Structures are given as C-alpha cells and as structure tokens.
C-alpha cells in the first residue's frame, strides 16, 4: 500500500468501511492516521464510497477543539484516503473500564456536548455517539471521532433499508433513529445521555437478551433511574434521554449550559461526595471515607468493650473472599526499573522518558491492572500485579489518569488489609501492610492513623492506643 506523501508504519485496525493505518506525513514529519478505502475491494459500493467521502467533507467543515481534525482527502491508485490527526490518548470505552468520578463525567459530557453543538450548528448530526467514538487528545480533552455515518440535516436520508435496519449502535440509539424517522441533533443528545448514565453507573441504560429487545427498550422503557447517591444527576439524565424528543434539551448548547450550572452548584456545595461508576468512592475521597469508617468502628469498640462485629465489618467493607485476602503477601521490594508509586512526585516529572506502546497493548494493560486490583494481586506475583501494570502504563504516558488512580487504589486496598489485621490482632501483618501502602501514598490519612494505633502494641493498653489514635498525644 502506497499513498504519495505518506510513509505507512503499520495497520491500526479494520472497520466496516475502511482500513486504518498509522503513517507519517513526510512533508511535515508528523504522525497521522490514514483511513483508506479500496474502491475496487469486496466491501466497496457506490453508497459506501459516497459515505466515505462525505465523512471527510463533513469533518473538514468543523473546527472545534473537541472534534478530530482532518488534514487531507485524496485518491491514490485504487484507494480513497482521509488523513487525520493521530490521537495517542485512547478512547472513552477503555477509560470506562476503571471508575470515572462524577466531576470528570460532567466535564467530559460538557466538552463532548460543546463539540456536538458546533456540528449541529453546521447542520451535521453524528448519529453514532458512543464511548468507542470518543478519543482523548490529552487526559482532559475528549474528541468526537468517526463521522462515517454522520448526516447533514438538509440531505436526503437513504440509510434505511427495505427491512427497516438503521445505522448506529443499538446500546445508544435514540427512539426516533430506531424508528427510522427524520432525525436532528436531539438524537445525539439522547445517545450522550446513554453514555452519561453508563459512566456514572458502569452499566448500559438497557440490557436484554437480543439486540432487538434492547432497541425496543430504547423506544418504550422509562428513563433509567440512578441508584442512591446519584439522585442529583437524575433531572439532567431525564432531559437528555426523554423518549419524546420534544421533551429533551432543545439543542446541545442548552444542555451544556445545564451541565455547567450543575458543575457550579457542586463546586459551591461542601457536602458533595463523589462516587465512581461502581458506587465506590474514588481515590481522592477514599481516604476521607475510609478514615470516617475506621473512626466510627473504633468508637463502637471503645463503648462496647469488645471486638464483636469485626467479621461483619470486613464483609460489608469490601465483600471479598477472606481466604484470598489472608494470602496477600506482607513483603514488597520496590523495583528500580519501573516508575515510582509516589504519583505526586513522579508522574509530573517532564524528564521521564516515554515508552511507545500500541493502542492494543495499552488497552490490555488497563484491563490487567483493573483485574489485578479486583483479585488483590497488588504487588505480587512478579510482573503479574496491579503495580506492575499501572507502572508500565505510566512509562508510556506519565499523565495517564487511570494508571495514577490505579496506584492510589493500591494504597486504599493496603489500608483495608491493615484495618482487618488490626482488628484481628495481627499487628505485625498490619504494620507490614501499612508500610507497603505508604510507599504508594505517604500521605494516606487512614494509613497514618492506623500506624499510630499499631505502635507500641506490647506497651500500651487498648484504651491507651485508642486515645493516641483520636488525640494524637
């Protein structure tokens, strides 16, 4: 495959419409993505060729920081190609494999909504808004990509077949798009509402045994209701996912303003507690919540004079297999060949060299890191643990928020293991877990308090230790 002016590096992926390659634009020596359609290939058709060219023309007319940039459209030999910016930050689908806080969720959908507003004002409806079509230029800048089935609202719609099939993704499709009727920008708002729900809960709005049944639910089922702790987001979701599009936000700009208003309200409220997509408090709030739980528990122990309820506490705290937790090693030697777990000092270091990794490798490392956390493979076995996988990710991108949060979550898990050990009376094990946890987060409030509580075990009574814990004296 040769495209004049470009040096193709390797294939990135194969889509339903074209093949995607990583390439270098030789005149500017910059990395680009080439989307190439073989006009004589088995997938080519007049409709597909027109749709391919339409994508290039549509995106080229859009100029917004949250919409991918098109550099060039051309033809070489028997191939049509679109040259666009190369994005290294991965997609939202991958990022959602680990918790996203409500504040980050609001920030993302506001920025995506702003990009949609720009597209809609140019008469363009995306029609396939979903996590896999949202890329990240940097950790805080989501980009709308893949306008392959986008439609200009003044164009004739030939996308419905005789059997009534539609173009789009069933998990995020609006009722009117599923019905095959004329659509406008409010269809994209509905799809973004589906993503909003999924980012906050970790679940898609509707689930069923077949694609057909999922589509029926999009058309007929009520707007999903958030669980306890996320109620403040329900009015926004209702306006985004209303079945009757006349009851949705009238346009994306109005939706973004509503999101911004909610963001301002949350910033002005001192009582907000952020929950991640699985209902777990994210790293920046986890220390505070863990300390509150520990304080309450110790107060109950002091007033009751015993340690009854220890097992119930352990079960309710993490709902994990005790036998597995008991086997978590109490030793850990910090390797020198992978990044330090001291995120605040290490990740922001501009001198640290980046290690180039393919998108497939990055996605695999994210998944393996999350899985290792869930299974409490925190620092061992060697090269198959959460620390190893998240550190590899930080070698590739020191600003990777998912990896940074993963390292902080390791500290949270060691805090939990230390709490269990203190309550079980195994102070040596508790001390070991505390020391390891503080390697990842030296300022972890729960670990610091646990360390005070665990000091001088043989010299002080339980009541004296509680006094130290609460007063610091």
Condensed to tens digits (0 to 9), the pLDDT of residues 413-443 reads 888 888 888 777 788 888 888 889 888 888 8
b (16+ CB within 10 A) / e for 421-455: bbbeebbebbbbbbbbbbbbbeebbbbbbbbebbe
Q: Which residue has the higher pLDDT, 52 or 432?
A: 432
pLDDT of residue 427: 81
Q: How confident is the model at residue 225 (pLDDT cuts 50, 70, 90)?
A: very high
Residue 8 above 80 pLDDT?
yes
* Tokens 């739980």 sit on residue: 293
> How many Cα atoms are found within 13 Å in the side-chain-facing hemisphere of 260?
10
Q: Which domains are seen in the chain, by residue range?
A: 6-85 (3.30.200.20), 92-268 (1.10.510.10), 283-471 (no CATH)
pLDDT of residue 367: 86
Condensed to tens digits (0 to 9), the pLDDT of residues 253-262 reads 999 999 999 9
Condensed to tens digits (0 to 9), the pLDDT of residues 261-289 reads 999 999 886 544 343 433 344 444 444 44
Which one, of 229, 417, 413, 420, lies nearest residue 312 by Cα?
Answer: 420
> How many Cα atoms are found within 13 Å in the side-chain-facing hemisphere of 185?
20
Q: How confident is the model at residue 352 (pLDDT cuts 50, 70, 90)?
A: very low
Q: How confident is the model at residue 453 (pLDDT cuts 50, 70, 90)?
A: confident
Condensed to tens digits (0 to 9), the pLDDT of residues 73-128 reads 888 877 888 898 988 778 899 888 888 899 999 999 999 999 999 999 988 899 88
Q: Is 326 a catalytic residue?
A: no
Mean pLDDT of 39-46: 62
Q: What backbone phi and psi angles, to 5 degrees, belong to 20?
A: -110, 135
Lowest mean pLDDT among 216-230, 439-453, 458-472: 458-472
Taking 3-state DSSP, the helix, strand and coil percentages for the chain, each rounded to the nearest 5, stand at 50, 10, 40
Q: How far apart are CA 419 and CA 403, in angstroms?
A: 25
Length of the chain as a residue count: 473
Query: From the candidates 128, 146, 188, 400, which is the catalytic residue?
Result: 128
Q: What backbone phi and psi angles, to 5 degrees, belong to 8?
A: -75, 130
- Give whole-number Cα distances, 316 to 313, 395, 415, 418, 451, in Å: 5, 36, 15, 16, 23
Q: What's this model's pTM, rounded to 2 decimal places?
A: 0.56
Whether the ω angle into residue 361 lies within 30 degrees of 0, i.e. cis, is: no
């Amino acid at each position: 495959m040769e495209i004049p002016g470009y040096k193709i590096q390797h294939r990135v992926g194969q889509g339903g419409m074209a093949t995607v390659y990583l390439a270098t634009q030789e005149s500017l020596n910059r990395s680009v993505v080439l989307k190439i359609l073989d006009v004589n290939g088995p997938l080519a058709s007049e409709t597909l060729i027109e749709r391919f060219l339409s994508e290039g023309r549509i995106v080229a007319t859009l100029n917004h920081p949250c919409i991918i940039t098109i550099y060039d459209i051309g033809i070489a030999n028997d191939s049509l190609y679109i040259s666009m910016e190369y994005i290294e930050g991965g997609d939202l689908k991958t990022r959602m494999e680990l918790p996203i806080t409500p504040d980050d969720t609001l920030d993302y959908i506001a920025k995506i909504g702003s990009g949609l507003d720009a597209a809609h004002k140019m008469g363009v409806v995306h029609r396939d808004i979903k996590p896999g079509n949202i890329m990240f230029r940097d950790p805080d800048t989501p980009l709308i990509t893949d306008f392959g089935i986008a439609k200009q609202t003044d164009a004739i719609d030939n996308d419905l077949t005789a059997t009534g099939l539609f173009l789009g993704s069933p998990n995020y499709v609006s009722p009117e798009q599923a019905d095959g009727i004329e659509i406008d920008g409010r269809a994209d708002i509905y799809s973004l509402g589906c993503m909003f729900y999924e980012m906050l809960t970790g679940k898609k709005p509707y689930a069923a045994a077949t694609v057909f049944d999922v589509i029926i639910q999009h058309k007929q089922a009520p707007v999903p209701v958030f669980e306890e702790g996320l109620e403040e987001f329900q009015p926004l979701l209702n306006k985004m996912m209303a079945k009757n599009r006349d009851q949705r936000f009238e346009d994306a700009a109005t939706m973004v303003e509503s999101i911004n208003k909610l963001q301002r309200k949350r910033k002005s409220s001192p009582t907000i507690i952020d929950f991640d997509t699985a209902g777990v408090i994210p790293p920046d709030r986890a220390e505070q919540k863990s300390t509150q739980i520990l304080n309450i528990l110790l107060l109950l122990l002091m007033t009751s004079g015993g340690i009854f309820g220890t097992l119930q506490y352990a079960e309710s705290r993490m709902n994990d297999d005790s036998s597995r937790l008991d086997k978590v090693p109490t030793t850990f030697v910090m390797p020198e060949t992978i990044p330090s777990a001291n995120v605040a000092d290490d990740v922001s270091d501009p001198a640290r060299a980046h290690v180039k990794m393919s998108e497939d490798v990055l996605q695999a490392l994210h998944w393996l890191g999350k899985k290792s956390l869930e299974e409490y493979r925190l620092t061992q076995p060697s090269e198959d643990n959460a620390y190893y996988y998240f550190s590899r990710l930080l070698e590739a991108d020191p600003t990777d928020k998912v990896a940074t949060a993963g390292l902080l979550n390791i500290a949270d898990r060691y805090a939990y293991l230390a709490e269990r050990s203190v309550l079980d009376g195994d102070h040596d094990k508790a001390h070991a877990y505390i020391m390891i946890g503080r390697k990842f987060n030296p300022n972890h409030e729960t670990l610091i308090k646990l360390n005070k509580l665990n000091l001088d075990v043989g010299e002080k009574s339980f009541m004296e230790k509680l006094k130290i814990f609460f007063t610091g004296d």
